[in-house]
C-alpha cells in the first residue's frame, strides 16, 4: 500500500501537545468548525508513514471565571481552547498487516483529516461484498465479505423499534443479490415485503444518497405457511413436515412431555412396526401403541393424537430441494401459528437442513432466525425444543456451509453460546441493563465508552463488530431497495367489524385451525 507523505495536504485540524503514548494523544484543535467526535484523523509517523487515529472526545475550555461569566455581555467575545483526544488505530505494513507505532507521536506533530482510502484500507472495510451502509460521517461504503459473513454467522441485536428488522431486510437483499440461498423463520409475516420494491417518493433522495435503486424479488422469494391460506392469504405454498417413518427420537423432540418410560414403550412399538412395514404413519404408531399391555400407553396415545391434530405432519412434506436454491429466499411465515408449534417446526426444519448439508444434498445456505430469543433462549430463562439444534449449527454449521443469522430485541434472553459463535454482530440501540451486560460478555474488549455509545446510537445507525474489520465502526444503514414489512401495527385502524367481514376482504373460504389448546397440552405448557 502506498503510504507516502506527498498526498496533497489538506487543512490541518490541529497540533499535538503535552504527553503522548503509543495508544493515544491530545491535540489543540485549530479547526473546531469541522471536527466532530468519532472523526478519523491521520498523523505522519517517521517510520510508519500515515497512521490512522479516531477522535474519542472533544472538550472546550476558557479562562473565564464563574463571576466573569455572569457579567459577560451578549456579544462579548470569549477566548476559548478546544482540545481533542484521539486513540491510535495504526497503519498497514507492506504485507498488509495492521501495525501500531513503536514510538509515540511528538508534540508539535500536525493532525489532518484522514482520506477515505486510508480509512477503508486501515480498518479493512473492503471495496466489494455485502453493502450495509455508509461509514458514519463519511461517504465510504461499508462492505463485508459474503463468504465470511455466511459461514461464520451473524447476529442483529437491538431494542424494540430500533430498526433490527429493517437492517435484516438490507442484509437479505444483499445476500439475494449475491446468490446465497436463504431460509427465513418469520414469526410475524414481515418478510413478504421483499416481493415489492420500495417505491415511496420520500425514499428517492435517500436512494440517491446511498447509491441504490428500488428493486423487488417476486421470482426469488417464496412464502410458505404452516397454517392455512385463510390465515396467510399471500402465501405461495403450504409448509408441512415429513410424517412418514417417524422414529422415537424425532417424536421425543416434537413431544418433550414424554417420560423416559413412555419413550421406551414408543421405541418398542416403532421397532415392531419397522419389522413388518416399509412405510408407516403416525396413525400406524398410535394403533401399535394401543396394543401394549400397560395403562401407560394411554398417555402416549394422547400425546400422539395431539401431535396429529396440529396438521403439520404430511405424506407429502415440503421438499428441502424446493426450500434451498441459489439466489432464492424461502420464508416460513409463522403468522397464525401457535408459538409451541413454531418451536417444533424450527427444530425439525433446522435438523433436516443440517443433516442435508452434512451430506451435500443441498447447497450452502444461511438460516435466518427472527425473534431468536423464542427459539434459542438462554439457559435458566426459558426452554425451546429448537435450542439444541440451533446450538449445534452455531458450533458446527460453518464446517458444512450452514450459516446462522440470529435476530433479537432481547440479547440477554438469547443463548450466549450461540451469540458467542457469531463472527459479525450488528448492534443497534440497546438500553436495557441486562441486555447491555449480555453484549459486554459477548464482545471481547468491550469498554465502558463502547457501552455508552450503544445506549446512544441514533436511529438509522448500527454498530458493526466483526473479526473481519479492525475495530467496531458506526454505520449509517442504507435505505432498503424493497418495502419494509416490519412497522408496528396501528392501534386505531379501519379494522373489519367481524371475522366474516375479514374473510370477505381475503376472498377465501372460512377455514379455521384451532391449534393453541392442542399445542399447549402437547408441550405441557398450557
The confidence score (pLDDT) of residue 492 equals 42
Helix axes 297-309, 516-523, angle to 10 degrees: 140
Calpha distance 420→180 (Å, rounded): 23
Q: Band the pLDDT of 448: cuts 50, 70, 90.
A: low
Calpha distance 410→391 (Å, rounded): 18
- Mean pLDDT calculated for residue range 445-467: 83
The confidence score (pLDDT) of residue 166 equals 94
Q: pTM of this prediction?
A: 0.85
**pLDDT digit string (tens) for 419-434?**
999 999 999 999 898 8
The confidence score (pLDDT) of residue 505 equals 43
Calpha distance 359→495 (Å, rounded): 49
Mean model confidence pLDDT for the chain: 88
Calpha distance 206→213 (Å, rounded): 10
The confidence score (pLDDT) of residue 3 equals 56
The confidence score (pLDDT) of residue 68 equals 66
Least confident of 154-168, 414-428, 435-449: 435-449
What residue ranges in 77-193 does DSSP mark as E strands?
A: 80-92, 98-99, 110-113, 130-135, 141-144, 154-157, 182-186
The confidence score (pLDDT) of residue 62 equals 79
Calpha distance 87→21 (Å, rounded): 10
β pairing state of 241-242 and 313-314? parallel
Please, which residues bridge with residue 17 across strands?
26
- Mean pLDDT calculated for residue range 375-399: 93
Least confident of 4-13, 40-49, 302-311, 387-396: 4-13
The confidence score (pLDDT) of residue 493 equals 42
Calpha distance 407→160 (Å, rounded): 11
Domains of the chain: 14-123 (no CATH), 130-239+318-427+454-486 (3.40.50.300), 248-309 (no CATH)
Q: Band the pLDDT of 486: cuts 50, 70, 90.
A: low
Q: Band the pLDDT of 510: cuts 50, 70, 90.
A: very low
Q: What is the CA radius of gyration of the chain?
A: 28
Least confident of 114-123, 270-279, 515-524: 515-524
Q: What is the DSSP string of 204-267?
A: HHHHHHHT------TTTEEEEESS-TTT-TT-SEE--EE-SS--HHHHHHH-TT--HHHHHHHH
Instruction: Please give the backbone phi and psi of residue 72, each rounded to the nearest 5 degrees, phi first.
Output: -70, 135
Calpha distance 56→89 (Å, rounded): 12
The confidence score (pLDDT) of residue 272 equals 95
Least confident of 136-140, 220-224, 371-375, 401-405: 136-140
Q: Which of 163, 150, 152, 132 has the alpha carbon at shortest distance from 409?
A: 163
**pLDDT digit string (tens) for 66-122?**
666 666 655 466 678 999 999 999 999 989 899 999 999 999 999 999 999 999 999
Calpha distance 1→50 (Å, rounded): 11
Amino acid at each position: 500500500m502506498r503510504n507516502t507523505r506527498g498526498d496533497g495536504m489538506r487543512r490541518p485540524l490541529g497540533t499535538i501537545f503535552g504527553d503522548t503514548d503509543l495508544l493515544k494523544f491530545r491535540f489543540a484543535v485549530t479547526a473546531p468548525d469541522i471536527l466532530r467526535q468519532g472523526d478519523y484523523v491521520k498523523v505522519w509517523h517517521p517510520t510508519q508513514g500515515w497512521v490512522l487515529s479516531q477522535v474519542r472526545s472533544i472538550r472546550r475550555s476558557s479562562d473565564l471565571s464563574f463571576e466573569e461569566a455572569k457579567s459577560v455581555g451578549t456579544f462579548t467575545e470569549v477566548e476559548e481552547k478546544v482540545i481533542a483526544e484521539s486513540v491510535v488505530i495504526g497503519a498497514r505494513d507492506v504485507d498488509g498487516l495492521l501495525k501500531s507505532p513503536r514510538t509515540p507521536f511528538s508534540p508539535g506533530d500536525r493532525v489532518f483529516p484522514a482520506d477515505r482510502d486510508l480509512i477503508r484500507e486501515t480498518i479493512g472495510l473492503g471495496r466489494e461484498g455485502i453493502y450495509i451502509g455508509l461509514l458514519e460521517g463519511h461517504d465510504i461504503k461499508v462492505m463485508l465479505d459474503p463468504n465470511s459473513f455466511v459461514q461464520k454467522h451473524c447476529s442483529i441485536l437491538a431494542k424494540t423499534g430500533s430498526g433490527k428488522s429493517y437492517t435484516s431486510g438490507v442484509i437479505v437483499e444483499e445476500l439475494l443479490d449475491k446468490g446465497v440461498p436463504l431460509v427465513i423463520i418469520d414469526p410475524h409475516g414481515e418478510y413478504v415485503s421483499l416481493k415489492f420494491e420500495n417505491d415511496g417518493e420520500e425514499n428517492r433522495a435517500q436512494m440517491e444518497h446511498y447509491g441504490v435503486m428500488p428493486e423487488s424479488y417476486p421470482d426469488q422469494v417464496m412464502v410458505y405457511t404452516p397454517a392455512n391460506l385463510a390465515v396467510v392469504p399471500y402465501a405461495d405454498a403450504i409448509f408441512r413436515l415429513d410424517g412418514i417413518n417417524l422414529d422415537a427420537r424425532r417424536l421425543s423432540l416434537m413431544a418433550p412431555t414424554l417420560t423416559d418410560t413412555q419413550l421406551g414403550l414408543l421405541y418398542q412399538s416403532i421397532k415392531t412396526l419397522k419389522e413388518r412395514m416399509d412405510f408407516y404413519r403416525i396413525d400406524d404408531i398410535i394403533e401399535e401403541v394401543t396394543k401394549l399391555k400397560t395403562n401407560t400407553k394411554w398417555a402416549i396415545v394422547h400425546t400422539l393424537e395431539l401431535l396429529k391434530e396440529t396438521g403439520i405432519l404430511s405424506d407429502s412434506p415440503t421438499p428441502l430441494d424446493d426450500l434451498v436454491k441459489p439466489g432464492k429466499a424461502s420464508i416460513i411465515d409463522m403468522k397464525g401459528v401457535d408459538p409451541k408449534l413454531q418451536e417444533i417446526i424450527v427444530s425439525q426444519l433446522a435438523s433436516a437442513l443440517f443433516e442435508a448439508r452434512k451430506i451435500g444434498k443441498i447447497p450452502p445456505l444461511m438460516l435466518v432466525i427472527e425473534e431468536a430469543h423464542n427459539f434459542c433462549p438462554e439457559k435458566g430463562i426459558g426452554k425451546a425444543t429448537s435450542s439444541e439444534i440451533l446450538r449445534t449449527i452455531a458450533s458446527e454449521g460453518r464446517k458444512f456451509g450452514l450459516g446462522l443469522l440470529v435476530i433479537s430485541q432481547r440479547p440477554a434472553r438469547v443463548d450466549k453460546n450461540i451469540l458467542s459463535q457469531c463472527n459479525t454482530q450488528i448492534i443497534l440501540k440497546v438500553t436495557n441493563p441486562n441486555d447491555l451486560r449480555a453484549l459486554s460478555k459477548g464482545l471481547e474488549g468491550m469498554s465502558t465508552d463502547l457501552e455508552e455509545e450503544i445506549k446512544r446510537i441514533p436511529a438509522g445507525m448500527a454498530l458493526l463488530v466483526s473479526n473481519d474489520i479492525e475495530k467496531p465502526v458506526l454505520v449509517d444503514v442504507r435505505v432498503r431497495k424493497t418495502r419494509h414489512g416490519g412497522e408496528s401495527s396501528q392501534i386505531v385502524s379501519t379494522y373489519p367489524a367481524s371475522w366474516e367481514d375479514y374473510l370477505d376482504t381475503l376472498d377465501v373460504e372460512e377455514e379455521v385451525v384451532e391449534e393453541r389448546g392442542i399445542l399447549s397440552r402437547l408441550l405441557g405448557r398450557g
